[in-house]
Amino acid sequence: MKNVIVGQSGGPTAVINSSLLGVFKTAKDRGADTVYGMVHGIKGLLDGDVVDLSTRIKTDLDMDLLKRTPSSFLGSCRYKLPDIEGNEKTYDKIFAMLKKLEIYAFFYIGGNDSMDTIKKLSDYGEKIKSSIRFIGVPKTIDNDLAITDHTPGYGSAAKYIAATTKEIIRDGLVYDYPVVSVIEVMGRNAGWLTAATALAKGEDCEGVDEIYLPERVFDIDKFVERMGKLLKQNRSIVIAVSEGVKVADGRYVCELSDHVDYVDAFGHKQLAGTARFLAGKVAEKYGVKTRAIELSSLQRCASHIMARIDMTEAFNAGGAAVKAAFEGLTGQVITLKRVSDDPYMCITEPADVHYIANVEKKVPLEWITDDGANVKPELVHYIYPLIQAEIAPLWINGLPRHIRLHATSTIKGKK
């Protein structure tokens, strides 16, 4: 009996279901009996909420839809496993559940927290001499995972951001008087997503005028001064800024406003508002029309404009995870290794999960211009291949078609 189980965790991406499909299809091809899916990740497993994926992904059309459906098909959770020491009961419960399902290999698709889950489960498995293999499949739009060249999910988010930025630039430059548009992009600590706005620039597009990443300290006065210089050119201006930019004393720029929109259920002040704050500063100082545009979470699920290269790599990462497990590895994460830039070639490679969990990869400072107001060509060069190629949605009734898990179900009788 060779059953496997797979879960999805953390925030959604456009291609997280391609990784799921990569696990499902490869496991089936390599002779797995049942491929279980955890509904809402490890939390679902703890609650006994798992499905036999063959009952949900039946046809080629289902697979084609799954690849094009954003956000986790199986549902997600934000659940970090406790430290092993003192919490052995939780781990025993998980392993008892896996034993009951006769699980041979366990796959988890997610970001930092999910890799921490793989690390802890494989550590505990080793401790109790379990033969179950634990492999992580990286996923995050933020591109902030260590070791791997980049992360599945990032390319599609970057493509959405670059394409949308081009459209905002065309929109912003239409009038014969200056308008300052400030685009705010997600990323509290890492500027990878914001940097993708740089790709808008080309033969057919003026590009954004300035780009501010959270890796560099943000200086409000210098920003306002620079806007003044740009406005002397008497034209419209488009600026990109990360939601996570901070001033010298460590406060987020959006915290400088005397107004907090509201504090959420977890006690977090709402961060969004950096673009509004900066647009307000410029409007007050120079009396020009300004617009604040928050891309918010839109790039996270914009599968209608995903990068096919990203989709393929996400699928391959899922497949490579199965291969690694079936070849006897455990406690590994599948990384992407760029072996060539031109032509772009990228392979998968398993790496010890201990090196990736809980580490945050930021944009290298040497890829940011000295004035901190733009990115260098090296960064554009890095992102460029990741947004390439397209896959058209399956259009039904004028809209991209998706697939849903529908009602969750509990453990089915095994074959």
Active-site amino acid positions = 142
Binders of a second copy among residues 294 to 313 (CB under 8 A) are 294, 296-298, 300-305, 307
Q: 344 is written with which tokens? A: 């772009």
The verdict on 342 binding a second copy (CB under 8 A) reads no
Q: In whole angstroms, how close is the CB of 14 to a second copy at the nearest point?
A: 9
Residue 81 CA to its chain's centroid (Å): 21
Instruction: Name the residue nearer to a second copy (CB basis): 5 or 325.
Output: 5
The verdict on 62 binding a second copy (CB under 8 A) reads no
Q: In whole angstroms, how close is the CB of 156 to a second copy at the nearest point?
A: 11
Binders of a second copy among residues 3 to 32 (CB under 8 A) are 11-12
Q: In whole angstroms, how close is the CB of 1 to a second copy at the nearest point?
A: 29
- How many chain residues interact with a second copy (CB under 8 A)? 80
Q: What is the DSSP string of 303-356?
A: GGG-BHHHHHHHHHHHHHHHHHHHTT--SEEEEEEEEEETTEEEEEEEEEGGGT
User: From CA 118, how far away is CA 262, in angstroms rounded?
Assistant: 35
Among 60, 85, 204, 221, binds a second copy (CB under 8 A): 204
- Secondary structure class of 349 (helix, strand, coil): strand
The verdict on 71 binding a second copy (CB under 8 A) reads yes
User: From CA 305, how far away is CA 312, in angstroms rounded?
Assistant: 14
Q: In whole angstroms, how close is the CB of 93 to a second copy at the nearest point?
A: 18
Binders of a second copy among residues 34 to 53 (CB under 8 A) are 40, 43-44
User: From CA 165, how far away is CA 208, in angstroms rounded?
Assistant: 8
The verdict on 68 binding a second copy (CB under 8 A) reads no
- DSSP bridge partners of 50: 38
Instruction: Name the residue nearer to a second copy (CB basis): 28 or 304.
Output: 304
User: From CA 81, how far away is CA 84, in angstroms rounded?
Assistant: 8
Q: What is the DSSP string of 45-79?
A: HHTT-EEEGGGT--SHHHHHHHHT--S-TT-----
Binders of a second copy among residues 118 to 137 (CB under 8 A) are none
Among 70, 138, 214, 331, binds a second copy (CB under 8 A): 70
Rg (CA), the chain: 23
Instruction: Name the residue nearer to a second copy (CB basis): 240 or 329.
Output: 240
CA distance between the termini of the chain: 10
What separation in angstroms does the CA of 313 have from each of 116, 184, 307? 22, 28, 10
The verdict on 2 binding a second copy (CB under 8 A) reads no
Q: In whole angstroms, how close is the CB of 125 to a second copy at the nearest point?
A: 25
Among 46, 84, 146, 205, binds a second copy (CB under 8 A): 205
Binders of a second copy among residues 346 to 385 (CB under 8 A) are 384
Tell how many helices (H) and how many strands (E) occur in the chain: 11, 13
Which span sits near a second copy by CB under 8 A: 25-33, 248-256, 331-339, 396-404?
Answer: 396-404
Instruction: Name the residue nearer to a second copy (CB basis): 2 or 401.
Output: 401
Q: In whole angstroms, how close is the CB of 185 to a second copy at the nearest point?
A: 13
Element (H, E) at 20: helix 16-29
User: From CA 188, how far away is CA 134, in angstroms rounded?
Assistant: 30
Among 233, 369, 388, 410, binds a second copy (CB under 8 A): 388
Across 83-108, b (16+ Cβ under 10 Å) vs e yields eeeeeeebbeebbebbeebebbbbbb
Burial (0-12, 13-18, 19+ Cβ within 10 Å), 53: buried
Instruction: Name the residue nearer to a second copy (CB basis): 33 or 47.
Output: 47
Binders of a second copy among residues 264 to 293 (CB under 8 A) are 264-266, 270, 272, 276-277, 279-280, 283-284, 287-293
Instruction: Name the residue nearer to a second copy (CB basis): 118 or 158.
Output: 158
